[in-house]
Structure 1
Amino acid sequence: MQHPTPFLSDFHTSSATPGSRARRPSRRRGRRKDDAGVNDTRNDSRNDTRNNTHRRSKSSTQIVKEKANQIRLYAWHELESWQQDNEFLHNGYRKATNSYRLSLASLSYIHNQTGNILSHLLGVVLFTIFGFFVSLELVPRYATADVYDIGIFAVFGAGAMVCFGLSAFFHTFGNHSEGVYHSWLLLDLYGILGLICGTVYSGTYYGFYCEPKIWLVYSVEITAITIIGGLICTIPRFRAPKYRVVRATVFGIIFFSGAVPMTHALKAFGREQVAKQMGWNWLVAEACLYVTGAMIYACRFPECIKPGAFDIWGNSHQVFHIFAVLGALIHLVGMIQAFDYNHNPATRRC
C-alpha cells in the first residue's frame, strides 16, 4: 500500500482523531484584539485631546502668572552703572536686553517702569480723543473760528502727544543698552521742550488775540529759549542721573519764561479780564501742578522717606508723570474757555 502524501498525512494526523472536530483558528479572538487596539488608540487620542484642551484652558488663565514667575527682576545693586538712577528704588528692575523686541515684551509683566509707561500712554490716548473733540465739536461752534484756531489747538495737542509718547517709549526701551538709553532720554527731553513750546504758544495766543504782534514776539522768544535748552540737552553730562536737579531747574526756567507774557497780560487787562480771555486762572493751576511735580521728582519723594516701599507704584517719577498729564488737561480747559470768550459775539473784543 502506498503511503499518503505528506500533505494528506499531516491533514489526517491533525484532524482524524475520533470523536473530535477539526479546530479552526479563532477569528473572533483576533478581531477582539484588533478592536482592543483600536479602542486603545481612540482612548489615547481622546486623552491627548483632553490634555490639549487642558493646556489651552491653562494657557488662557495661568500662562501669564507662570511667565511672571519665570521672569526675574533685578535689584539696584545688580544693575549696570548707567541703569542706576534712583538708589531709593531697591527692586523691580529689568536687566539690559540689547533687544527692542525683549524690551517691548516687558509690557506684558509688571516692573518698576510700568507706572511710568502707562501714565504717559494714558496721556497719549486722552489727547487723541481731544483731537477728535476739537475737530468735530469745538471749531464748528462759531463762524469766526478759522484755520488759526485749528492750528493753535493742533500745536498744543501735538506737543502733548509727542511729549507723552516719547516718554513712554523712553521708559519702555530704556533697558535696551547704554547707547539706546541715552538716545531715548534725549528724545524724552526734547518732548518736554515741545510741550513747553506748545503750552506757551497756545496760552498766549488767546491772551493777545487782538494784539497778534505781541503774541508773535513772545512766540519767537519761547522758541529761542527752547532751542537753547535743546542744545544744553545734547551735553552728555547733563543727562547723567546725578544732574537730575540741574535738569529740573533748567526746564523750570524755560517753563517760567512763559510767565513773562502772562504777567504782561495781567498788567495790561487786569485779573478779571485775563481770567476770561486767556483762562489765566487755569494756567496758574497748571503751573502749580508742573512745579510741584518737578520738585517731587527732584527730591525723590516719597521713596526717600521709606526706601524700597515704592519700588513699583507711587514713586516720585510716576507722580511727576501724573501731574504732567493733569497739568496738560487743565491747560486744555483754559484754552477752551479762552476760545469761547474770544469767539462768542457777546464777549469777543475784536
Structure 2
Amino acid sequence: MVHRRKSLSPRKEGAFLRNPLHDEKSSLLGIPNPFSNRDPPILKPWTELGEFCRNRATLPTPSPPPNYAVKISSRKRHRLMLWRRSYDVLIEIWQQEDNHFIETGYRAASNSLRECFASWGYLHNETINIWSHLIGAALFVALPVYLYKAEIPPRYAVATKEDIVVCGIYFLGVAICFCLSALYHTVMNHSQQMDTFGAQLDFQGVILLMWGATIPLVYYGFYCDTAIHRYSYWALLSLLAVACSGSTFQPHFRDPFLRPVRAATFGSLAVVTMVPVVHGATVYGWQVQNQRMGITWVLITLMLNVLGATAYAIKFPERWFNKTFDLFGASHQLFHMMVVLAALVYSKAILQAFDFAHAYDHTCNR
C-alpha cells in the first residue's frame, strides 16, 4: 500500500522550507525569508546593517541637495535685543553660501524689507556687521564737521576750497561705503536676488572708499608739484576703479570659487593706490614725504586692512571653533572692525598731511 504524503499548506510549506540563514531573527544581515508571507521589515535609513546595527553606529546625515532648506539652530526674539526661547530656523542654501562655518543665528528668508529692517532690533549673526558700519557711517559724517569747526580753526584761519573738496571726498566715500555695507547685511536675508544685488552695492562701496582715499593722498603728496602729476594719478586711479566696479556686476563675480578673482580685483586697486606713496618717497625722500603724506599712518592703515582681510579669507576663528563665534567675533565682524579702525587711522594721516601742507606752504614755488 502506497502512502502519499499529505500536502502542506503554503504557510506550513514556507515553514518547512525555511532556511535558517535567511531567518529574520538569526540572519546577521536582517534579510527576510523569501518564503514567508509576512511583510519584510523596513530597514530604517539611519542604521547600517538592519537588526544587528539597530542600536549601534549611525550613518552621517548626507549633504542636502541644491535649493533645499537647511535647519540651523537659532533663537526667536521676544522683545528688543532679548532672546526668550530657542527654535529651528529653515534657511536657504544661498544664505550659508559665503561662509558655511557660521552655523547658528541666521534669520529666515523673509521676502519682506520691513522684516529685514526690523532685525536691527534683535540679535542675530549679522547684528555686529550691521551696527559696526552704521555707527561707523555716523562717525564719518560727524568727523569732518568736528575737524573743520573745532580742530582746524585754532591753528589756521580756514581750510581752502581744495582742502574741503579732497578731504570731503574721502569722508563722504567712507560714510557711503559703510552705509552700503550696513544695507547689504540688513537685506541679505530678503531673497537670493536681493542678496546678490546687496552684495554688488557693497562692492561699489568698497571701491568708492579705496578710490576716495587716494584723492587727498595724491593732493598732499604732490602739493608742491605741478597739477599734471596729481591729475595724472587721479585719472589712472579713476579708470581702474571704474574697471573694478564694472567687473563686480558680472553674474558669477560673487560665486565662492571666484574668491581669488575678487581678491585680485580689489588687491590690484589697493596696490595701485600705493604707487604715489612709493613715487613720492623716491623723489623727495622718506623723511619729507612721510610728513607730506602721513606715510606712517598709511602703513598702519594698510596693516589693519590686511589683518582684517586675512581673517575674513581664512574664516578665522569660526573655522576652528564650531558655533563659538557665530554671533560675536566671527571673521566678517573682525573685518568690519578693522576697516572702521583703519579708516580712523587714515584720517590721522590726512590731518597730518593737511598740517604739513599749510605749515610749509611758503616753501613751495607754486
Query: C-alpha distance in 1, partners of 2:81/2:235?
Result: 55
Do 2:222 and 2:280's aligned partners in 1 also have CA atoms closer than 8 Å?
yes
Query: C-alpha distance in 1, partners of 2:344/2:120?
Result: 26
Query: C-alpha distance in 1, partners of 2:211/2:169?
Result: 9
Q: Secondary structure at the match of 1:168?
A: helix
1:184 equivalent to 2:198? Answer yes
Tell me the CA shift for residue 248 of structure 1. 2.5
Tell me the CA shift for residue 256 of structure 1. 1.3
Do 1:203 and 1:283's aligned partners in 2 also have CA atoms closer than 8 Å?
no
The structure with the greater share of residues assigned to helix is: 1
The aligned residue for residue 142 of structure 1 is: 156
Do 2:80 and 2:121's aligned partners in 1 also have CA atoms closer than 8 Å?
no
Tell me the CA shift for residue 277 of structure 1. 1.0
1:108 equivalent to 2:142? Answer no
Identical-pair percentage: 35
Q: What letter is aligned with 2:218? A: T
1:227 to 242, 251, 256: 242
Q: What letter is aligned with 1:165? A: C
1:326 equivalent to 2:347? Answer no
The aligned residue for residue 12 of structure 2 is: none
Tell me the CA shift for residue 241 of structure 1. 3.4
Query: C-alpha distance in 1, partners of 2:322/2:271?
Result: 32
Q: From the superposition, tell whether residues 197 and 225 of structure 1 become closer, same or farther in structure 2 (CA, over 3 Å).
A: same
The aligned residue for residue 48 of structure 2 is: none
1:82 to 49, 69, 94: 94
Tell me the CA shift for residue 324 of structure 1. 0.6
Query: C-alpha distance in 1, partners of 2:187/2:326?
Result: 19
Unaligned regions of 5+ residues in structure 1, if any? 1-61
Q: From the superposition, tell whether residues 71 and 338 of structure 1 become closer, same or farther in structure 2 (CA, over 3 Å).
A: same
Question: Number of residue pairs matched?
Answer: 286
RMSD: 2.1
The aligned residue for residue 132 of structure 2 is: 119
Unaligned regions of 5+ residues in structure 2, if any? 1-76
Query: C-alpha distance in 2, partners of 1:251/1:66?
Result: 35
1:94 equivalent to 2:107? Answer yes
Q: From the superposition, tell whether residues 196 and 66 of structure 1 become closer, same or farther in structure 2 (CA, over 3 Å).
A: closer
The aligned residue for residue 199 of structure 1 is: 213
Q: From the superposition, tell whether residues 71 and 187 of structure 1 become closer, same or farther in structure 2 (CA, over 3 Å).
A: farther
Q: Secondary structure at the match of 1:210?
A: coil
Do 2:81 and 2:123's aligned partners in 1 also have CA atoms closer than 8 Å?
no
Q: From the superposition, tell whether residues 117 and 348 of structure 1 become closer, same or farther in structure 2 (CA, over 3 Å).
A: farther
Q: From the superposition, tell whether residues 122 and 269 of structure 1 become closer, same or farther in structure 2 (CA, over 3 Å).
A: same
Q: From the superposition, tell whether residues 343 and 68 of structure 1 become closer, same or farther in structure 2 (CA, over 3 Å).
A: same
Query: C-alpha distance in 2, partners of 1:116/1:163?
Result: 13
2:352 to 329, 337, 349: 337
The aligned residue for residue 299 of structure 1 is: 314
**What is the TM-score normalised by the length of structure 1?**
0.77
The aligned residue for residue 167 of structure 1 is: 181
Q: Secondary structure at the match of 1:95?
A: coil
